[in-house]
Structures are given as C-alpha cells and as structure tokens.
Structure 1
Amino acid sequence: MNAQIEGIGMTSRRTRMRLVQRLRESGIESDKVLEVIGQIPRHIFLDEALSHRAYEDTALPIGYSQTLSQPYIVARMTELLLAHEPTRVLELGTGSGYQTSVLSQLFKEVYSVERIRPLQERARDRLRQLNIRNVMLKHADGGMGWPDRGPFDGIIVTAAPVDVPKELLEQLADGGVLIAPVGEHDQVLVEIVRRGDNFERRELEPVKFVPLLGGVVR
C-alpha cells in the first residue's frame, strides 16, 4: 500500500472501515480488495459539496453526466479481475480516478483511458496527490482501447457498451480477462476470458452504468 495514501484523510478511517464492513456483508470476499478500499480516501474524488456522502454505498455524480461508481461495484469488478492475477491492466473510463487508484494498489501496471478531458485532468491531479506512479493516462475514445500499449491481461470497462467492442477483445492477451457492464437498458456484468481465438463469456449480475460513448470531449 502506498504510504502517501495511508496518510491522507485519516480522520475518516473509521467511516471507511464501516464501508468495508458493508461491502463484506454484501458478498465481497477478497481481503486484498477490501484492504485497498479501506485505505483510499474516496472523498477526495468528489466535489466538496458531495464529499460528506463519499462513504455511502452509492454512485455519485462527478459532472459531465458521469458518476463515481458505487463502492460495491468497484470492489466486485476489481475482485473479479484480481482472481485472474493480471499484471498489465487497461481501464476504460478513468472518470474521477477512484477506480484507477484502487487498481494501482493491486496491479503492477495500469493504463487508463478517458474521453472527457476535464475529468482526466482532475483524475491526474488526484493520483499525483496520492503519489501514485504506476498509472498511465490517455485522453481518447475508450471504445478503441489503447492498441499500441496492448495486449493486456486484464481489461475493465467502467461504462456500458451495447456489446463489447471487437477492438477491446483484440487487445486482450491469451488467457486474459475482460470485465464489463453490457447492455442498453437491461445491463449485466460480464466476464470474458480469451482462450486463443475463442472468448468464453459468463454473465454475472444485473448492473446500472452510464453508457459507453464514442468520441472525445475537450
């Protein structure tokens, strides 16, 4: 765990521990994931007016019609990814940077793409504040992935495409796993594992995410 992270927001540590307990009771089993959730100060990823709600298990707005994901779904997707022990992880949808910071504590290399420039810049500032140095950020259309940095042995998508773009599947290493919400109205969390030219797909649970959109916002 990054020492800088441990030193930020210690006054809310008890509140974070209550969140961890709620996540455990909701079915999150990975001690590693729960430890990271308990250490990272989620309130710094929100505007001050919403920071008092940071440790509720709910999604919260971050502007530009985007949200800071519910802690349960952050933990659930990270737990699913961790089970496959990837080292190079691609995140599509940096958003506030909260999920990115969680990934940074569990995986060796994290590459994160965000289509909305102001969100990316704020996320970059927050990651610097936490002294996180194993994350590379890119301003681009997330649906295209980051082809010149692939292949990745883990891909996590934090907005919902109608179906998983083939460009992302092509950037998945053999044996790698992709975790994503999929669907337009009735969304489901899916896990896709690549086995050579075959992709094994498993549907897990209903979810609700903002849609994965194309293009970039300056």
Structure 2
Amino acid sequence: MHHKTRVDSFEPIRARLVNSLQGRIDTHISKQVLQAMMQVPRHLFVRESDASHAYEDYPLSIGHKQTISAPHMVAIMCTLLDVQKGMNILEIGAGSGYHSAILAELTGPTGKVYSVERIPELLKFARNNLHNTGYHNVIITTGDGTLGLPKHAPYDRITVACAAPTIPPPLIEQLKQGGKMVIPIGESVQDLYLVHKNDTISKEKSGGVVFVPLIGEHGF
C-alpha cells in the first residue's frame, strides 16, 4: 500500500531488522506481519532526529511522554491479532501512526483502521505521517480511548497501545462475536493479553510488557 516515490535508502537496514525479528527464537512472528513491516518505512514515523535509529529494535520517544513501540512489540501484537484482509480494526493510541500503518497493510485496501488518540499534537503527527506514506484507509480521531469508537463498531480486531487497569467494558462491547483484542493490563508490572469474544470472554496471558498508561474514564 505504501507507494515509494524515491529510492528508499533505508530499505537494507529495514530488511536487516525484519530478518532479525524472523530469527527470534523466543517468539513467533507471522509471515504476513514480517511482510507488512518490510513495506512500512518506520523512519518516516519517528522524529527526524531519530530517523537513523528507526530500525533499531527499541522504543523511541515521540514527545508528550509517549513512545513509538519497539518493532518486536508491534510484531508480536500484530501476530497475536491475526488480522485478515478486509477487517474492521480499532486501535487505541495512534502515537506516530506506525502501528496503524502496519495494521493497514494487514487489512488491505478493503479493510479499515480506526484509531483514537487523546493528544492533539500526536493526532496531527500521525495523520501527517500516514498521509505522506500513502495510508489512506486509516482514520484517526481524538477522544477517550477507553470509550472506544462506537460510531464504527463492531470491530473484528481491537489493539490497545497503552496499559489499562482492567479491560475497558466499552471495548468488549464494541468487539464482534468471534473477535480478538490485544491489550496490556497492569500498572508498573504489566502483562499483554489476547482476549477472545465468543459466547463468553476469555483471555490468555502472552508475557510481560512495559507500556505508557491508558488515560480515560475506564483507564488510569
């Protein structure tokens, strides 16, 4: 989906990052996610001064006490979500728009990604980044992410890029039957959970993580 307008000098180091993720023995990253990460130019989703570090596997500050997650964490979350083409996706916490772009690659032109960002400056940053890289099926709005985005519900998949004290009830309500959600839960010590919504809600722990707090009515 990303249309290159000039030679991408970062492509070799992006390939090196993707290959290193593929070679990790501690976790499985899906082929579809690796392909999506090869397509998305992460250096165009960080601050210009950090572009040379864009393909290192660690988080980077994007200002306003927020970060762009480490590539391996985005890869793990997206693999757990198991996004299929044409899905309707909700993201809580757009940040720089990088994770949104990966989701857009995974759901394809027939799908939609809706993202909620509470910080106006980051909303503008993410919108610009997505526009400049050609991801036009991502819609970012401002608001309280713990309330979800009822207007475009229900969602096949929901991903939350900040840690909540518990799973916000509105997000469960807005998840389709058979849908999946990935969300970090906890305060200083957090765990990443994969949530399934069928006749009942089930959740499975996927490992320890560190995320910024989810602020809002059903957050911190």
TM-score by length of structure 1 reads 0.93
Cα distance between partner residues in 1 of 2:66 and 2:214: 10
Cα distance between partner residues in 1 of 2:2 and 2:79: 22
CA contact (8 A) 2:97 2:126 kept: yes
Number of the residue aligned with 1:77:
77
Cα distance between partner residues in 2 of 1:63 and 1:24: 30
Choose from 203, 212, 215 the match for 2:214.
Answer: 212
Number of the residue aligned with 2:150:
147
Cα distance between partner residues in 1 of 2:92 and 2:29: 24
Which amino acid is 1:98 matched to? Answer: Y
Q: 1:24 to 1:8 in 2, by over 3 A?
A: farther
TM-score by length of structure 2 reads 0.92
CA contact (8 A) 2:146 2:170 kept: yes
Cα distance between partner residues in 2 of 1:50 and 1:135: 24
Which amino acid is 2:68 matched to? Answer: L
Cα distance between partner residues in 1 of 2:203 and 2:151: 25
How many percent of aligned residue pairs carry the same amino acid?
Answer: 37
Choose from 185, 201, 205 the match for 1:199.
Answer: 201
Q: Could you list the runs of 5+ residues in structure 1 that have no partner in the other structure?
A: none
CA contact (8 A) 1:95 1:123 kept: yes
CA contact (8 A) 1:9 1:41 kept: no
1:171-203 deviation line (CA, Å, top 9, x unaligned): 11111001011110210010111113x101101
Number of the residue aligned with 1:11:
9
Tell me the CA shift for residue 214 of structure 1.
1.9
Q: Could you list the runs of 5+ residues in structure 2 that have no partner in the other structure?
A: none
Tell me the CA shift for residue 84 of structure 1.
7.0
CA contact (8 A) 1:16 1:39 kept: no
Worse-matched range after superposition: 7-16 or 43-52 = 7-16
1:78-105 deviation line (CA, Å, top 9, x unaligned): 1111267771110000000000011011
CA contact (8 A) 2:154 2:175 kept: yes
1:101-152 deviation line (CA, Å, top 9, x unaligned): 1101111111100000110011111111111111111110111100121111
Which amino acid is 1:16 matched to? Answer: R
CA contact (8 A) 2:85 2:106 kept: no
3-state SS of paired residue (2:130): helix
- Runs of 4+ in structure 1 displaced over 3 angstroms? 6-9, 83-86
Cα distance between partner residues in 1 of 2:131 and 2:29: 29
Tell me the CA shift for residue 31 of structure 1.
1.2
- Superposed CA RMSD: 1.6
1:59-89 deviation line (CA, Å, top 9, x unaligned): 0100000000000010111111126777111
Which amino acid is 1:106 matched to? Answer: L
Number of the residue aligned with 1:125:
128
